[in-house]
Structure 1
Amino acid sequence: MSGQTTRTPSMGAGHERRVVVVGYDGIELLDVASVTSCLDLANRLGATPAYDVRFATLSGGAVRCDSGLELHAQVALRNVPGAVHTLVVSGGLGHAAAAADRGLVGQVQRLARSSSRVASVCTGATVLAAAGLLDGRRATTHWNYADELATAYPAVRVDPAPIFVRDDHVWTSGGVTAALDLALAFVEADHGAERARWVAMGLVTYLQRPGNQAQMSMFVRARRPEHDVVRRVFDHITAHPDADLSTIRLAAVAGVSERHLTRLVVEHAGQTPARMVRHARLEAAATALVTTDRPVSSIAKATGFRSGETLRQAFNAWFGISPTHYRNAHRRR
């Protein structure tokens, strides 16, 4: 953000990077484990200074995860001293209740004031927002809760698309396994890309999945509409991405007027015909980028884009990443 300065790393006891992971009833276990396991492996691979990771709750007692498992805390939040290097608030179905807990929010505010890095995983962003730590910042959360966060906290610039977002010293990530990408980004920022690469290899995950890659996989197609007319149009689009897919042509395929088609598609697919076409073409292009070696210009022509540059612009606008970057990221394992 403008007018803010990047904070310098602070060290915990023994010149370690102290990391506090905040939990509460209704947390998602993967939100916690993705961060703690990644940083633990970084330590075992020789990260110096090492991470001193502690799981903390408001009372210092156990919390119940979404799955029903209990997770025991190592420390009460009130007993965590200042000078925390990284403060991470986990997400989970209990995020709304946690954000309404003044004691929890107050402790997060206190620790954030002396933390070099403040972060949230998934819906943990709700707690950061309740603490005022996301005001005026760009932030992300689980795509399914983005509208809820934006409505409840209008001062936050919510972007539901990226896997994670960094705004100065405040980091937020998307849903669940995006926590692993967030933690790998921590390792890279603290210890360099090569260390992060070895940690990713040890975890058998993507080596460098970019933060601005879309949370929702481009290979997971939208569910086929149930309405007969809309389904027929949807199938025609996905089968012929390089054809004339103007609304007037799709209306002819469906045997209805343009106006009626638009109304049906919006009602049963939640988007306009043009947006449905754009999404289908981008999915087809994404599939071809990873499964073939064809040039981007050839893929663009086969999926209904006028040129490679047109595809690049559409890709960046929709998913926040270039076609070439997407191809490289999905092939780099």
Structure 2
Amino acid sequence: MSSPNFIDYVKFCSRSGHGGAGCLHFHREKFVQKGGPDGGNGGRGGHVILRGDSQHWTLLHLKYRKHVIASNGNPGEEQDRTGADGKDEIIQVPLGTVARDAETGHIRCEITEDGQEFILTPGGRGGKGNAYFATPTHQAPQYAQPGEAGVEEWVILELKLLADVGLVGFPNAGKSTLLSVVSAAKPKIADYPFTTLTPNLGVVPYRDDRSFVMADIPGIIEGAAEGRGLGIRFLRHIERNSLLLFLVPADARDIKTEYDILLNELRKYNPELLDKKRLLAISKSDMLDEELKTEIRRELPTDLPTLFISSITQQGITELKDLIWRHLH
């Protein structure tokens, strides 16, 4: 997943098709003076439909598509022929996509499975032809229904990555380095803050051909929930993770304080995130001796599983995988 091509937010105008008008017609045939009504119904307008596609990873293909317009239904015809339905407009979206009403912010749907479909903007109903209105007491109706108008609305699509483990930490905590070591992902790594500007996904192989998915999101700083740094733009990618792995570097001034700040930012963004399982990994631990590790352990919460790891020397990486797997299953 390359950084410039990762798009997780799009806004577009969705317009469904108008329904076709019903037909007003009476049967005409040689030697038949007064044929009965035979006007057919109009076809429905095309829907705008979201469909989950596991082969898509971003919303890049929708970035420059500002209008999605479905076709109109065809009008009914004589001899009780129903007009053809308008062609549906199907939008393929990655799994984890959430659709919102652009005006109210109301969540319309969440696409989480491959092939899952949701009618985002329904097409207008086709009008009834005059044959529909014929009754024993009213055998020659002189009217038919017009088709129902389609719907035009602005919609926001947001992508929330589907991953088992989400990495949470300050910039330069070693999240991208860890992901590159435990998986085949190749995120950008450099010695300056905010190297990671877009989320990265990696499949982490485990014992007996098992695996789990890990997501690295851009670093959080204090005040992110109020918009500082990269703000809350990428915090939504944590919402679908089963497990949160907090990464705090061993050279931090106060490891417990940094952990508390990260926890507080998640609380301010969405208190429900605190209900997720949490692990704490002290990265860059190759610079610590046993005495320093013992002192650090005394300051950390006793109910939080903690490991000392080093992505460079592979210290604690196997134990981290085991711990993650136990908490996931």
TM-score, normalising length from structure 1?
Answer: 0.30
TM-score, normalising length from structure 2?
Answer: 0.31
Q: Which has the higher contact order (CA 8 A, sep 6+)?
A: 2
- Tell me which protein shows more strand as a share of its residues: 2
- Tell me which protein shows more helix as a share of its residues: 1
- Largest Rg, 1 or 2: 2
